[in-house]
Amino acid sequence: MAFSTVTVQVPATTANLGPGFDCLGVALNLYNCFQFTQNEASATPVDITVNGEEAAGVSTASDSLIYRAFAHLYDHFGQSPPPVKITIDLGVPLSRGLGSSATAIVGGLLAANKLAGNPLENQDLLQLAIALEGHPDNIVPAFLGGCRLAVPTNKGWEICEIPWSENLVPVVAIPNFELSTQQARLVLPSQVSRDVAIFNASHLGLLLRAIETGRGNWIKLGMQDQLHQPYRQQLIPNYTDVESAALSAGAYGVAISGAGPTLLAITSFGDAENVAQEMQSAWEKAGIKAQVMPLEVSKTGASIKTNN
Ligand code: HSE
């Protein structure tokens, strides 16, 4: 059946969670919504409208990520994409380490696949989305929901769901400045020692058990990382102050969300509001405005609605 309008809602994600660099992420209940209307009669290939506070930061030209992802599905089959009107309702802050690019890639590919009559299974779409982004840790939870570990194999990515304990609350502290993932990757060393590899492997193993069991003392230890955070902290003003404020207010652990600059704290339900307030005031004391909020894990991931 051919659909002329497809709407895709895709959740924000927080990746890495400390030691799970480029392999672990969790979907959060903040969403971008993308509506695609196929218009065969249109003379322009794409017409993009963006709504939301940060709308000015999104390209409305044919180089925009959402359209590139949409067109990529058709390119994959050696076809030209149909003319399309795209309306974006932004709910995920841009360039803050909350997976806004992944929402565009997942949204564009899912919509194109639906409008093209479902030529690809979800499993293949997911592999295509990971290849477009370059790493799986935002894409996979944005697509599938929940907390996911992605493991490279010689046949693509093996995905494992990590059960998220009902006792754990993700709190995000989103400062009002951007940090590009590219810049945050440039500061990382290209090689690490065996000691660092062992440190991260052991802490990630512990973190996965901690997430499943909700054991706070394991979260605290398990969120430690030596692969990327020591290098990225310098890109986030007052990182140490905000981390200390969260830990003093009862957070189990704090990590940079994705490539930053958002910080993620994991807390109990009882401490979540207090942790959020203390993180916000720590940044405010340094003159940095931040939006800080306890969130929920989005269990369902990307969802599609169609209208004829
Ligand atoms: N794992 C990635 C990074 C997340 O930390 O650079 C950003 O997409």
Q: What is the CATH number of the domain that holds 51?
A: 3.30.230.10
Average pLDDT over residues 45-73: 95
Q: What are the distances in angstroms from CA 135 to CA 99, 121, 125, 215?
A: 11, 20, 14, 29
Strand intervals (E) in 116-252? 147-153, 156-162, 169-175
Note down the domain range covering 183.
169-294
On whether both 196 and 92 belong to a single domain, the answer is no
Q: What is the CATH number of the domain that holds 180?
A: 3.30.70.890
On whether both 209 and 282 belong to a single domain, the answer is yes
* Count of domains observed in the chain: 2
How far, in Å, CA of 273 to CA of 257, rounded?
A: 19
Which of 40-44, 63-67, 127-131 is predicted with the least confidence, judged by mean pLDDT?
Answer: 40-44
Cβ atoms 254, 219 nearer than 8 A? no
On whether both 25 and 140 belong to a single domain, the answer is yes
Q: What is the pLDDT of residues 75-122, one digit of tens each?
A: 999 999 999 999 999 999 999 999 999 999 999 999 999 999 999 999
DSSP state of 54: T
On whether both 192 and 150 belong to a single domain, the answer is no
On whether both 243 and 271 belong to a single domain, the answer is yes
* pLDDT for res 1: 47
**In this structure, which residue's CA is closest to atom 5 in ligand 1?**
259
Check if 232 has its Cβ closer than 6 Å to any atom of ligand 1. Answer: no
Peptide bond into 261 cis (omega under 30): yes
DSSP state of 46: E
On whether both 50 and 187 belong to a single domain, the answer is no
How far, in Å, CA of 118 to CA of 132, rounded?
A: 19
Check if 140 has its Cβ closer than 6 Å to any atom of ligand 1. Answer: no
How far, in Å, CA of 38 to CA of 243, rounded?
A: 47
